[in-house]
Chains A and B, each alone.
Chain A
Amino acid sequence: MSDNKTPAGKAGAAVSSSDPAECTLADLPVGQTATVINMKPSLRGKKKFADVGIVPGVELQMEAHAPFGGLLRIKVMESSLSIHRDDAANIIIRKQELS
């Protein structure tokens, strides 16, 4: 599979936050791809997100923003998920180079 998932552990958690490519999922522009680095402790329902594949190391893509701001549509592991912007703001990601 192309979505490479690093084994548990080699956590990207230690990456310095000064990395300019690092931001939250809520800030990822439509069409861009990113890798999940970590979840902020304030994220509610961590297990739920983990169960659908949003775990550190996974690759995801921002597909669309819903009208009136609330929801985001992201592609994770070949499937489309809609999640709320407030929750996305608690997921730290690193943007990938535009190819």
Chain B
Amino acid sequence: MSRKYRIVLAGNPNCGKTTIFNCLTGARQHVGNYPGVTVESKTGGFTLGEDEIELIDIPGIYSLSSSSPEEGVAFEELTRPGIDLIINVIDSSIPQRSLYLSTQLAELHIPMLIIFNMSDEAKKKGLKFNIPKLQSYFGCSIVQTVGSRGDGIDKLKTALAESLLHLEDHDVPKLTYGADVDDAIREIVQWIEPAMTDRVRHIPARFFAIKLLEKDTCVMRMNEFQGLDAIIDAQIAHLYARHAIKAETFMADCRYAMISGACRDAISFTQERRREISDKIDAVVTNQWVGLPLFFAVMYLMFWFTFTCAAPITAGIEWMFGWIQSLIERFWSPDALPVLRSLTIDGVIHGVGGVVVFLPNILFLFLAIAFLEDTGYMARAAFVMDGIMRKFDLQGKSFVPLVLGFGCNVPAIMATRSIESERDRRTTILVLPLMSCGARLPIYVLLVPAFFAVKYQAFVMFLIYAIGVAFAMLGARLLKSTLFKGDGEVYLMELPPYRVPTAKSILLHMWDRGVMYLKKAGTIILGVSVLLFIANNFPEKTVFDADYGAQIMAVAADTTLTPEEQATAVKRIENRRRAEAAEYTISGRVGKFLEPAFKPIGFDWRATTAAIGALAAKEVFVSQLGILFAEGEVAEDALEDEQESLRQLLRRAYTPLQGFCMMLFCLLSIPCLATLAIIRRELNSWKWMFLEAAGLFALAYVTTLVVYQIGLLLKIGTNYLL
């Protein structure tokens, strides 16, 4: 008969829980080599024999208490009724530290299965475990695995099935903390046992007694245990008198003493411990003098890699869209359903194609970020950058989310949950949209080559990113010295050993991102492109202010002009006609209406409508320009390369200063809707979301205004630099 079980995966940060979770459920949750990758509980399911299993992956914790947001989530999940089994994943290369949590989980008296993960690393270190001894100690089965390679997963499933058969008569751990402490625990148990309500009865009173001895705030606040302060304080005072150690750390001390006893018995070294490679790398990477220059070199390499590797593939995609367009143009006669034909070519292909072209850039950027995450370098980057971050009133932990922001702001904002200090977390979230995300990249990749000579391109690109970072830092400083004033929290971060990332993990991450980007191109961007196409074309103008036909005839009849001059004059008249038609459309009207407001920052009505479209997703800025210019004007000589012909049109319409201002505005202005939604969720406030949007708009507008006006005044970038 098939039964259903609820199993929770618990363990230290970065011990490989999510890898085990993925192995068991076949899910593809993101794993990375730094603490705090999993910030919220995730649920997955799988079948074992005939049984159905619901597996819950909770954030990594060092202790079962509530001293950080992750611990709060984990504590709540683990003390909820209805858990059949806990799978405790430990990094067996650091058994002493990892088993600390196991002792606390064992106190819950919920059936448990311990996974000694990363057993290959333990073996390399020369650690040897007496598994039967450890099993009797913790009263549960222990399985050794190497999650990253999938080793031991079959054994794990067998052990799991076995454990599920013995849920009713599972072993109880033999954990003692010494006579004095055990006496104190028993004393408190006597008092709280009558107070236990149904809500908590599935957990032994002993567990709560220990938590109360530790003065755990979460348990102290529970209704059941009010009014016991005097009794608990008396026990604490009694223990303090004998051992001279304060209450909060007393149990920690006892547990480590107990584990150290267990380790002496059951864990041995088979060989001389060698200095790990990880330490050798760290001696350089976290060095006081070399660390920072090395970090900047890594960042530079990341962007260099992104652009260099993507270039040939981008060309391939462009060629493909050009080919599709030429096919349609050849086989779809302009007379059959002309509006739909134009929608397909100018709306869909120019809109969506213009965005898909940047897929390689995005993929390589994510590949680079995933590589840095999985090797463990991110935690080091946080370490070496902490000093600089503190100058802006942020801290090292804010740093990883900020770098992730270069990829996409949405997961980056989620990653801020690993920051304990609420003030730092809020500050980081609010400045994060200033980190130029992957979706803004297409805008720069289009505009930079359009307006700047090759030798300036890399510099301008760097400048844009640097401006975003500079504003983020200044913004953080401003927020921390006004709205989020106060002392910082305790800083504690583990630096995980370096690991060679598995190709599978990195490629999967890149693949998932790529699919997400394409989905966005196929849904939001396609939809917005169609809407914009309609707005760009309707209502259609039938009666024109001037009789352009007559003007063209007049030019053609003028025999004083050479044929070239005639052609140019005709083109000019046709462009005037197109411009008049475009201004008559919805986009034209909206753009024209708003133009006076955007003119001072260098935007014409077309750029204005593109900026409005960019609210849905930043890439729309590119597709809107693509659509508008595809319609409005004809390139002088039809170029093979579609991007290049759009760039030529842009070059004719705007000055480099205007191009730069467009990039600046897109960088700083209101982030995309997805980012705003996640900001609302993470700050749990509509007010903050609107304030953020308004604040960023104001920042973007004022900055761009200043740059454009000064540029005009000093005549910088009003002509082409070649």
Chain A positions near chain B (C-beta within 8 angstroms): 1-9, 11, 13-14, 39, 41, 44-53, 55-56, 58, 63-71, 73, 76-84, 87
Contacts and interface: CB of A to CB of B under 8 A. Distances in A.
A81 B495 CA distance: 6
B244 A73 contact: no
A4 B178 CA distance: 18
B67 A45 contact: yes
Interface stretch (B94-102, B331-339, B583-591, B678-686): B94-102
8 contacts: A11-B245, A13-B245, A49-B490, A53-B97, A71-B383, A78-B97, A79-B494, A82-B493
Given A51-B62, A52-B494, A70-B390, A13 B67 contact: no
Nearest to A69: B387
Contacts of B291: 66-67
A26 B324 CA distance: 66
B396 A73 contact: no
Interface string B383-418: 110111011000010000000000000000000000
Interface in B224-246: 242-246
Given A44-B489, A66-B383, 19 more contacts: A3-B260, A5-B256, A9-B178, A11-B243, A14-B244, A45-B67, A47-B252, A52-B494, A53-B97, A55-B252, A64-B282, A67-B289, A67-B292, A67-B388, A68-B391, A71-B386, A76-B97, A81-B492, A82-B382
B505 interface: no
Given A1-B264, A67-B292, A79-B94, A13 B256 contact: no
A3 B257 contact: no
B214 interface: yes
B493 A6 contact: no
Given A9-B243, A77-B96, A79-B97, A52 B384 contact: no
Contact of A82 (B62, B214, B491): B491
A82 B390 CA distance: 15
B249 A47 contact: yes
Most chain B beta-carbon contacts within 10 A, residue among A6, A8, A49, A69 = A8
B288 A47 contact: no
B61 to A, nearest CB: 9
B154 interface: no
Given A4-B260, A50-B248, A66-B383, A77 B490 contact: no
A57 B64 CA distance: 23
A72 to B, nearest CB: 10
B493 A81 contact: yes
Interface in B487-515: 489-497
In the A-B complex, list the 6 residue pairs whose CB atoms are closest, starting with the nearest.
Answer: A68-B387, A50-B252, A45-B490, A51-B63, A50-B249, A80-B495
Contacts of B257: 5-8
A87 B354 CA distance: 52
B253 A47 contact: no
Given A11-B244, A47-B65, A84 B282 contact: no
Contacts of A68: 386-388, 390-391
Contacts of B495: 73, 79-82
A39 to B, nearest CB: 7
A83 B97 contact: no
B309 interface: no
B579 interface: no
A65 B273 CA distance: 24
B260 A1 contact: yes
Nearest to B491: A84
A63 B495 CA distance: 12
B302 interface: no
B465 interface: no
A48 B264 contact: no
A13 B288 contact: no
Contacts of A70: 386-387, 390, 396
Contacts of A84: 490-491
Given A1-B263, A9-B242, A82-B396, A47 B63 contact: yes
Contacts of B391: 68
Nearest to B487: A44
Contact of B214 (A6, A41, A47, A48): A47
B286 interface: yes
Contacts of B674: none
Contacts of B288: 64-67
B361 interface: no
A80 B383 CA distance: 11
A55 to B, nearest CB: 5
Contacts of B493: 81-82
B93 interface: yes
Nearest to B242: A9
Contacts of B279: 63
A17 to B, nearest CB: 15
B271 interface: no
B609 to A, nearest CB: 46
A78 B122 CA distance: 11
B122 to A, nearest CB: 10
Nearest to B388: A68
Nearest to B214: A47
Interface string B651-680: 000000000000000000000000000000
B283 interface: yes
B249 A55 contact: yes
Most chain A beta-carbon contacts within 10 A, residue among B252, B269, B289, B391 = B252
Contact of B282 (A52, A78, A80): A80
Given A13-B244, A45-B490, A73 B253 contact: no
Contacts of B47: none
Contacts of B100: 51, 53
A96 B388 CA distance: 33
Nearest to A43: B490
B67 to A, nearest CB: 5
A55 B253 contact: yes
A23 B260 CA distance: 25
B388 A56 contact: no
B287 interface: yes
B311 interface: no
Contacts of B245: 8-9, 11, 13, 56
A29 B292 CA distance: 20
Nearest to B264: A1
B167 interface: no
A49 B229 CA distance: 25
Contact of B286 (A44, A58, A64): A64
B249 A66 contact: no
B27 interface: no
A64 B287 contact: yes
Contacts of B267: 1
A49 B358 CA distance: 46
B254 interface: yes
A84 B395 CA distance: 10
B340 to A, nearest CB: 60
Contacts of B383: 66, 71, 73, 82
Contacts of A45: 67, 489-490, 492
Nearest to A72: B383
A56 B214 CA distance: 16
B14 to A, nearest CB: 10
B248 A52 contact: no
Contacts of A49: 249, 490, 492
